[in-house]
Every structure is written in structure tokens, then in C-alpha cells.
Structure 1
Amino acid sequence: MPNVREVTIGLLRELGMTTVFGNPGSTELPMFRDFPADFRYVMGLQESVVLGMADGYAQGTKRAAIVNLHSSAGVGHALGNVFSAFKNQTPLVVTAGQQARSILPYEPFLFAERAAEFPRPFVKWSCEPARAEDVPAALHRAWLVAMEPPCGPTFVSIPIDDWDRDCEPFRMRTVHAIRAPDADAIAACGVALSKSKNPLIVVGAGVARDNAWDHVIALAERHNALVKVAPMSARCSFPEDHPLFAGFLTAGREAIVAALAPHDFVLALGGPMSLYHVEGHGPHVPAGCDVWLIGDNHVHAAWAPAGTAIVAQCDMAIELLLQGPPPTARPQHAPRQPLPPLDGAAMTDAYVLQQIAALRSPESIIVEEAPSSRGPMHDRLPIVRKDTFYTTASGGLGHGLPAAVGMAMARPNDKVIAVLGDGSAMYAIQGLHAAVQHKLPVSFVIIKNNRYEALHHFGQHFGMQELVGTKFPELDFCLLAQGHGLTARRATDAASLDEALRWSFAATGPTLVEAVVL
């Protein structure tokens, strides 16, 4: 009879999860006895980095990735990026080791107490199997739940002595989920859209997850509807050089209402529209504005403060909307005027982002975690191709650098550019090592302003003129890169910036550019 490890390896192979991301400890090692040659183990030097790499890989492959962590300590280190994966709706199967069942009554060293509860509420499902022979079934259920929309991470705790126990062969099951929208609800939405005088489409990350980029373009062009991006959207869902592109919504109640005010109909696709970062007051939508929301996440539908919600895949819903009644005649919109180019006399984050846009290939992939530079990025670094922009939906730091590594593994033929703030980069700097180990052509561009700029911005919001402990001019990212095995260059002015970016974007291995800004 085979053992649990052999049956599990066969299951993972059938599921296509032959790349394992992890940072193992003693309680995980038996999983890797006789590790098969067709599998790949990707080591991360810290567990949050492991989660971030797996997140980027899963988003790039559009399939659940498997993560292997060490008992409670490893899960605890990784929880910040488990939270990010949950908000990103990234399918992950997270496993963690547990001490041997025979000594669990004695609270042994490095055991996990109430292991299945620890990562909640930021996993969709979690368990510690009741018997060793239930491990393959638990992992298969975890995969099914992770891949079921809305996708997200799941968790399985596995005792150390389970792997060598006898186990009956396991047969995978197939689950067919109904994801089609309610036809009557879509028909009602289509009628309201066709009759509106000045419709607006708001796109969120779900448009990208549902591969509905082209669908949204067709819908916007059919109805001559302007398109804005939802607040804090973590993916690209509409070409930012399109004549109907109208910019980005701000994550504040009053700002959203003001942006929606000219429109009598709003269709929010693929994510929350009323997402707030600061306290606000007043209505959530303008008076007389008919709001409809379509996306695969029933939780978003439930907490939305206004509008009629339809839980459905965006691509399927838009296909039905495109078959709806023709629109009324509407005046043409004047396209947004580009900002005048910056001359580089001042080395600002806006100038760095402008030059990244000018020197990169439009097909290259931007993985971003530079929160205080998000506004200049919207202005100066347009995203014009589908599936070429990724950031964290959680707002937590430490996701972007390792996610870029995982993305490069998932899409080895594409150039990946990680645009990172200096503070963000330090949360996961160990991820550079994995990029070197696997010879990944990632360009890490660190926007170095020597401080937590986002905190200084919010300090002003709260009337605080001075913040403690938020400046760190001593950091040297070129030396940090070299310590991890990367080559790096520092840019302090326009000339050195262009030279460094051209060098990095042309490289076939990992490189780092430290762009020092005002």
C-alpha cells in the first residue's frame, strides 16, 4: 500500500502543483523525502516572502499554488501576506507542519495549538485532518475551495508523522460550478444602461481575473461610456491610453460621489466601488444616479452601501449586456489630455515613473508597491496592455517584491519590473535572493525618498507636523542587492536614471536600480 506522501505527490502532480514554495522546518521535512525530479522547490528566506512569491506565481499562472510553512511560527510570519492573498482573491493552498500526533497531548515544542483556527478569518477554509489517511482528501478539498470564485487561500495543518502512514489511493473528483449570471437581472441592467444619458463604467480587479479586458472595451465603445478605475484596484482592467479612459476614483466617500455626480447611470464591474480609506460623510452615491454592481465576490455584493448587485463572472455578464438593447444617442467625449512631460531638472518620483514608462516595453509587467507614489504612477506610468499590472489589494506592505519574483517564474518570457518604495522593499528584501537563485530577469526599481512618505502624508491629514521614527537615510539598496547576489546601480539625476533603467530593462538576470528622489 502507498503512503500518504506518495499519494499526495501524485495528487499534486495531477493538480499541476509541482512548484512548491516554502521555508520548511523540522515538522515539514518528511514531506520531502524522495522529492520527485519533476517537482521544483522554491525556497524563501522568510515566510512572508514565501507567501508573496506564491501569490505572484498563482496570479501569473491563474492556478492555485502550494505553499509549505513551518508550524505556528511560520504561519505567524506569513499572515500579513495571507491577508494580502485573501484581499487579492489569489488561489493558494497553504500547508503547515504539526508535531507528531502521539505527543500532541503534551504540548510539545514547536507544535501548533488550534492550528486550523490560527490563519482565520483570512483563509476560505482550513482544517487539520482527523486521520493521516485523510490528508490527500483535505488537500484536494483545499484546492477546490481555493479555485472556486471568489478565489482565495486555504489552509491544511499536517502532523509530521502522517507522511509515512499507509494510505489508500486517492481519486480526484470534478466539480462543475455554475458561474453564469441571472439572465433577468442582466436584462434589467442592460435596459437601464441603454436608456441612460451619460453612463459611467467603473472597473475593478475582477475584470482582469475574469479575463474581461476586451469585453469592457467593447461595452464602453458600444455605449460611448467613460471608464474609471475603482479605488485601490489591484489589477489593470482597461487600457489607460483609450479615448474613453477617464482616470481613477479616490478612496473617499465625498470624492467618489463628486466623480459620479455627472452621470445618471454607473456600472461597477469586478470589485468594490465604494472603498474608503478615510472617514467620510454624506451619501454614498449622487442623488438620481442608478448604480449597478457586477462581480464574482458575494461579500462585496453584500456590503456595498448602495446599488443593485449581481453576483457573476464579469466576462459572462458583459457578453449578455452586449446582446442587450442598443444605446440611446449620446455626445462624444473629449479624451483626456496628457500632462506635459517633466524635464528631469528635479529628481522626483513622478519623473522616475515617467522614464520607466518611456523606456520599458508596453508588454512588460509592472508589479507595484510604492503607495506614496500611486498618484504620480497614475499620471505618468499608463498601463496599456492586459495582464501587465499587479499590486496588493490589502494595503499591507511586503507583497510586491516577492510577488514580482513569483510573477517572473509564472511568465518566464515576459520582463517583470518591480516598482517599489524604499519602505515597502525592506519588508521583504530577502526575496532578492530567490530572484538570484532562479536567474529571473526582474528589474527591481526602488524609489528611495529616505522616509515613510505615506505616513507623512497621513500625518498632515491628522494635523501632525512631525512624526517619529519614519526617516531612514542610512539604507543603501545597492549594497543590500550586492549582499544578495544582484548587480545594482544608483541613479541620482536624469542622466544616470536613464542609463540605469536602460541597463536594467535589457538585462537577462535580476538587477536593481536605486532611484534617489526628493
Structure 2
Amino acid sequence: MTQSGSGHGTTVRDAVFQVLRHHGMTTIFGNPGSTELPLFSELPEGFRYVTGLQESVVVAMADGHALASGAPAFANLHSAAGVGHAMGSIYSAFRNRAPVVITAGQQSRPLLSADPFLYAEAATELPQPYVKWAIEPARAEDVPAAIARAIHIACLPPAGPVFVSIPLDDWARPCAPPVLRAVTGRAQPEAGALAGVADQLEAAADPVLVVGAGVDADGAWEAVVGLAEHYQAPVWVAPLSSRCSFPESHPLFAGFLPANEADISRRLAGHDLILTLGAPVFTYHYEMPGPIPPEGAELVQIVSDPRQAASAVCGRSLVGDLDLSLRALRAAAGAARAPRSVPLRRPEPPKPGRGISSAMALAALQRLRPASGIVVEEAPSSRDDVHDHLPIDRAGGFFATASGGLGYALPAAVGVALSDPGQTVLAVLGDGSSMYAIQGLWSAVEHRADVLFVVLNNGGYAALKGFAGNKEVVGCDIGHLSLAALAEGQGCPAWQVSEPDALEPVLGKAFAAGGGPRLVEVMIDRG
């Protein structure tokens, strides 16, 4: 352990910035408020403040930045009202396993006994249960240590958001210099348990892999590809996975499991061993009963999230780092199995039409986008078309929300771009999704985030209409919106396209206009 500074003249603010710099957390995502003013006034050299115009946007930007960079992100919110605005994004960060350190202002300590204006009467309770840890330090001088502890807790698996409430008058108080240290941890399941799974794989006549977001989060992309190729095992994506964990153009890629028991059972039928990696068993969205696992199959789950292991309704679960676990299984494997002769999945190309379909738009994006680019997606009614026509073939190449809540992807794409991936980030959005966080375009412009926002405008909440079947659903038509006009009003260059012949030229022009944000609104033919 080392200490920074002599202790003479060190304030809480000084010490906090030393802690943040030590962990490489030099970007602060925030929405300025009076109770946080001492933090962001006159930032130290090397720090930047990324403004969001609403607190939910702030946390979503930090979430995307953390996931894309693989490092913790720092977000600063206003007291109770600001944290309340951000709760949807805090929930998404919790489900996404995003290591976001969230701080919020609190009124000065001498005022707290009198219920002052703009204070949080139950500061640590408000973000619960969707943070891993929450604290309002008992003393001002405890704030730097609390933030250091929060960083460690946020990063240790399973990663997730944490919360620290800081009274306004704490920042200027004197304190000891911070203790700067590192905490890392990657736990591997017990060797005997892994050996048992290795024996099951060797004995299985037709194993199948089901991969979830935990594979990508644990850096296990290459390990899962190697294991699948060795056993020639088909690979399915777990229902509603928020990250890509296997190359979707690979011959062994089988597709995406639907979010109900009956269809999962049908797709996995015939396999004698189901190895579920980095995913729950299973995530369901609607009720269609079926046998899980299917008859004749054993199920083994390996996850680094103990909650997912505890909530599995069947099979055997091992808790540990996916990369370490899969490499151990690969090392214990016997002779490789003969390759399969044909790819397992070949989606049909989109059919031409008089108007633009979402399938046509996504196929055009696939032809034009960089092969190694990053996609951030929130287009619920077009998710099947995203799966079919926008395959992801790289680790860390896809981010969506694991929570199901809207308003994540637009600001998250800004956070991803500000992590400096070296190329344009592609955000694929629905019109309804975009409106939950449209203020994020201002942040993209202000900070020159290299994002191409493509909004598939189908005039409403089409995914909800699909669930309703033939029934009339009220409140789902929002067709009198112009996302291009809203973008231009925030200083973001924008185009609107409705004719199939103009689709690729407009998208090509937008891709070429790199270096900052731009938006293409694709008017989807509702016929």
C-alpha cells in the first residue's frame, strides 16, 4: 500500500480526486446541481466533465462507458430528485453488471436536522435494491475511503453500480491522504467440480452450448469458440442476452433462443448435455410451459454471478470466472470431434418492397458498417431483424440493456464512443426508444461523440402491438414525430429517408461523415 501527499492541506475533495486518478477514472458523467457544486468547480488537470441534460442520461452514458472500456465509470447526480430521475438507468446498470460508481449530493450536515430544501431524507435507501452497496459516510473525512471501497465493490464480480451520498460541506473539510490500493479477483470453480463437467462433455454424444452476456463480460469469447469447435457443439444465445458472446457468422452458431419454456425446449431437444455459460436458466418473457431441460438432457450452468446460480430452477450450477473455467475444460478435453458439413444457420435475405422494411435497413447497415465496429441496440420491434441481418462477430461488439427498460441505448452509445474505441459507434434505435433519452443527442454534440444514430421509425410501440395480436391497443401510436428535426434542434446533423433507392446513399453519406454524431431517421413502411 502507498500513500499520496503529505497530509498538510489535503481536503476531502483533493483526496477523492487522488483516488479517482489512481483508478483511471478521469471522466465524470454528471448533471450539475447545487449540492454537488464543489466537486465539479475548477476540475483538476486531466479530468473532464461530461454533461447530461437529465440524470437517467448521465447514468446510461456512464454504463456504456464502463462496459466498453472494461473499467469503472464515475457518475455524479443531484440529491433525491436527481437519483429518482436516474432510477431506471440505475436498474439497467445493475442488470447489465456495469461497474458505475454513483455519487449524489446531500445538503450540508448542519442543516440535515431541519429537513432542508434539496436534501435526501433516506439517501442510501432510494437506490436500493439496485446497487451493490450504498453509504452516506458518518464523517466528512470518511468520504475518500468510502469512494475507494465503492470502486472495489463495483468492480468485483459480479460487477455492478454502487452509491455514495456526500454532504455539500464535506468537500472542503481536511482529511488524511488516501490509501491507494488495488483489489482484483477472478475465482475459478472448484477443480473437482470442473473435472466432473469435463467428464460429462467427453461422455456426451451431442452437447449444446447456450451463451449469455457473462461470457463477453468475463472475456471468455475465445475460450467459448475453442470449446465449441473442439466438441462441434451448436451454440445458441440465451434469451434476451444483452451482449454478444459468440461470432454470429460462425458455422456452429445456431441462433437465438426465444424467451419461453416451450420454444426453448423444442430447440434444445435431442441434445444430451446443455452447457449454459454466463446466463440464467432461463430468462422468460411470456408464459408457454414446456419441459426444462428437455427429456433426456442434463443441464450444467457455469456463471460468475452467484444470484444466477441460486435462481436456476434445474440442473447443476458452478460459480466462477467464465474464461478460467472454459480454458480448464478445454485443457481437459480429449480428441477433437469431426467438423460438421454445413453451417447451422443461414438467414434469408430481406425481400424487396415499395417501402423500407427494418430488415432492408439492417441489411444495408451490415453492408456499409466497419466489420469490427460496435453496435448499441434498442429497437425492440426490430430485434429479430437485428439478429438476422446485423451479425456481430467480435468480442465487445454489441451492447443492449439487460433490464428491458427503454432509454438506455442512445446515451449508452455516447458513453461507448467516449471510451475511444477508435471508430464510429453504430446505435440502432426505435423511435419510441429514442424519445426516452433524446437529450442524449445534446451530450453527443457537446462532446463530439463519434456515433451514427439510426432510428427505425415505425410510428409507435410496434413491439407492444405484436404482443397484443389482433386486439386493438391504445396509446401505442406516436407517428407525428420527426427524430431528424429533434436531432437538428440539438445541433446534430440529420437525414430522413423513406425511399428504398435512397437508403444506401443516405446511410453511406452518414458513415462517411465521421468525427462526431449524426442521425439517420429511416421511415419504416408500416404496410
Normalising by structure 1, what TM-score?
0.97
Task: Give the AA of the match of 2:520.
Answer: V
Instruction: Return the match for 1:517 from 496, 511, 524.
Output: 524
Counterpart position of 1:28: 36
Instruction: Return the match for 2:213 from 205, 226, 248.
Output: 205
Q: 1:344-367, CA deviations, whole angstroms, 9 ceiling, x for partnerless residues? A: 544111111111111111111110
Q: 1:283-327, CA deviations, whole angstroms, 9 ceiling, x for partnerless residues? A: 321122111111110000000111111111111001100112415
Quote the Cα distance in structure 1 between the aligned partners of 2:462 and 2:381: 6
Instruction: Establish whether residue 115 from structure 1 lines up as the match of residue 123 from structure 2.
Output: yes
Counterpart position of 1:381: 390
Structure 1 stretch displaced more, 466-475 or 276-285:
276-285
Instruction: Return the match for 1:427 from 416, 429, 436.
Output: 436
Instruction: Return the match for 2:403 from 379, 394, 405.
Output: 394
SS at structure 1 position matched to 2:53: coil
SS at structure 1 position matched to 2:180: coil
Q: What are the equivalent positions in structure 2 for 1:408-419 lying under 5 Å apart?
A: 408-419=417-428
Q: What are the equivalent positions in structure 2 for 1:325-344 lying under 5 Å apart?
A: 325-326=333-334, 332=340, 334-335=342-343, 336-344=345-353
Contact 2:281 2:314 in 1 (8 A): no
SS at structure 1 position matched to 2:248: coil
Instruction: Establish whether residue 506 from structure 1 lines up as the match of residue 512 from structure 2.
Output: yes
Counterpart position of 2:225: 217
Q: 1:263-295, CA deviations, whole angstroms, 9 ceiling, x for partnerless residues? A: 110111111141100123243211221111111
Give the deviation of 1:219 after TM superposition: 0.5
Task: Give the AA of the match of 1:276.
Answer: Y
Contact 1:231 1:273 in 2 (8 A): no
Counterpart position of 2:185: 177
SS at structure 2 position matched to 1:306: coil
SS at structure 1 position matched to 2:240: coil
Q: 1:128-155, CA deviations, whole angstroms, 9 ceiling, x for partnerless residues? A: 0000000001101100000000000000
Contact 1:197 1:328 in 2 (8 A): no
Counterpart position of 1:497: 503
Structure 1 stretch displaced more, 349-358 or 168-177:
168-177
Give the deviation of 1:172 after TM superposition: 2.1
Q: 1:404-447, CA deviations, whole angstroms, 9 ceiling, x for partnerless residues? A: 00000113412101000000000000000111111122100000
Quote the Cα distance in structure 2 between the aligned partners of 1:347 and 1:481: 21
Counterpart position of 1:360: 369
Contact 1:195 1:327 in 2 (8 A): no
Residue 273 and residue 501 in structure 1: after superposition, are their counterparts in 2 closer, same or farther (change >3 A)?
farther
How high is the sequence identity, in percent, across the aligned residues?
50
Gaps of 5+ in 1: none
Counterpart position of 2:458: 449
SS at structure 1 position matched to 2:179: coil
Counterpart position of 1:306: 314
Q: What are the equivalent positions in structure 2 for 1:38-437 lying under 5 Å apart?
A: 38-326=46-334, 332=340, 334-335=342-343, 336-437=345-446
Normalising by structure 2, what TM-score?
0.95
Aligned residues: 515
Contact 1:67 1:92 in 2 (8 A): yes
Contact 1:198 1:330 in 2 (8 A): no
Quote the Cα distance in structure 2 between the aligned partners of 1:276 and 1:134: 43
Quote the Cα distance in structure 2 between the aligned partners of 1:408 and 1:249: 30
Gaps of 5+ in 2: 1-8
Question: Which of structure 1's runs of 4+ aligned residues deviate more than 6 A?
Answer: none
Give the deviation of 1:333 after TM superposition: 5.4
Contact 2:186 2:321 in 1 (8 A): no
Task: Give the AA of the match of 1:496.
Answer: A
Give the deviation of 1:378 after TM superposition: 0.9
SS at structure 1 position matched to 2:182: coil
Q: 1:344-399, CA deviations, whole angstroms, 9 ceiling, x for partnerless residues? A: 54411111111111111111111000011101111111112221111111100000
Contact 1:409 1:440 in 2 (8 A): yes
Instruction: Return the match for 1:483 from 489, 501, 525.
Output: 489
